[in-house]
Amino acid sequence: MRLHVIGLGGAGGRVADRLAAAHGDDPFLGGVNAFDTDMDALGALDALGEERRYRFGDAAGGDGLQGDLHAGRRLGDAHASELGRAMDDQRPSLAEAFLLVVGLGGAAGAGAAPALAAELSRLYDAPVYAFGFLPTRDETEEPDDDAPRSASAGGASGAGAGAGAGDGPAPPTPHRPLAERNAARTLDALSEECAAVFPFDNAAWLRPSETLGGARDRLNGVAAERIAALFGAGETPEGTETPQQVLDASDVARAAGGDGEIAAIGHATQAVDAPDSGSKFGLGLFGSSEPAEVDTSAAVSAIETVIRKATRGKNTVEVPDGRADRTLLVVGGPPAWLNREAIADGRRWLAEETGSDAILSGDAPVPEGDEVFAVVIRSGIDEPDRVREIRETIE
């Protein structure tokens, strides 16, 4: 499918930049933009050219909004049409879906996201999804005297200077006292304007003793990987094998839903050996270029493993009791490893695991690949504990 990604604010811009760097030439990534009020945050992006970065809101003075969500909302309402026009050179009318990436606890991105979602829905028929980073509890707490904090309001995720470098102290967690309340209000607003919202729980992905500042680069990578795994799964390079069950934008739309529900993305991979060309003895007799057969038990085991890990492993957000109203399963990898019976068994297991009446599926052959992977989307899930806690901050 052709996806147009818009990174809003500091957090969203950094993830959009990461996607452009890793997948800029992939067919699924039809367009990428980064919009922010903060000149420094935009200037720090590496992969996106100046024509893909756009500062809006002169009233903000170019330094960000320091957590003021109401100011962000006003700017979003005033500049939504302007931001829509800033995308025109990438032919957004061809997009099959739009994805807004945003730090939910921020101000500029979180404030502008609902208005831009409404504007895109007004202009185009494609669904608008939101991928939003949930703030951690540490961000809202008063810092200890011995625990230095950053005053930055640049978003809940995104690579900062020195993040993950390992050659000095980890960057501090930003102190953003309004982050949870901003996130609660932004979740509600995005649910009204977007087809589905994919929250990313930063706290669940932090390792023991790891700070948010130190983890930013790694979390950006996880987010970009999940986005690419989902929206790029239906794309195969020209001239390669066509999937038996083709995944397209309508499948994602049916699985994610259209009423602003919360959805989760699970993803898992397992390295496999590419089948050798030639005879079953590996001698290449008679000039044969046919790949040797893969051991059936090995293929079945690999597929079962990645489906279960994508389902029960760490998702972008917690899925209470594993249940969901709708579920999408995509299994990919070298064609010889895509055992049809194993995939069918995986679908049946997933239906029992989630209680979903609607299980959609697709496959994604990767002829030169060296791993089997699975992507699982669950939508219409029960409210995760972390989302409930955030919503309670404004009740």
Binding residues: 139, 202, 220
Nearest to 358 by CA among 245, 263, 256: 256
State the residue for tokens 């609607």: 358
CA dihedral 38, 39, 43, 47 (to 10 degrees): 50
Total Cβ atoms within 10 A of residue 40 = 12
3-state secondary structure at position 349: helix
Residues with Cβ < 8 Å from 376, sequence gap 6 or more?
265, 266, 267, 307, 310, 311, 315, 327, 328, 329, 330, 350
Burial of 343 (0-12, 13-18, 19+ CB in 10 A): buried
List for the chain the helix, strand, coil content (%; round to 5).
45, 20, 35
Please state, in angstroms and rounded to a whole number, the distance separating the CA atoms of residues 350 and 327.
8
Cβ neighbours around 124 below 10 Å, total: 18
Show the DSSP H helices in the chain as ranges. Answer: 9-23, 39-43, 69-86, 108-123, 137-140, 179-193, 202-205, 212-231, 249-256, 296-312, 340-354, 385-391
- Indicate the DSSP class of residue 363: E
Give the number of other Cβ atoms within 10 Å of residue 237's Cβ: 11
Binding region for GTP = 139, 202, 220
- Neighbour tally for 78: CB within 10 Å: 14
Q: What is the 3-state secondary structure (H, E, C) of 308-347?
A: HHHHHCCCCCCCHHHCCCEEEEEEEECHHHCCHHHHHHHH
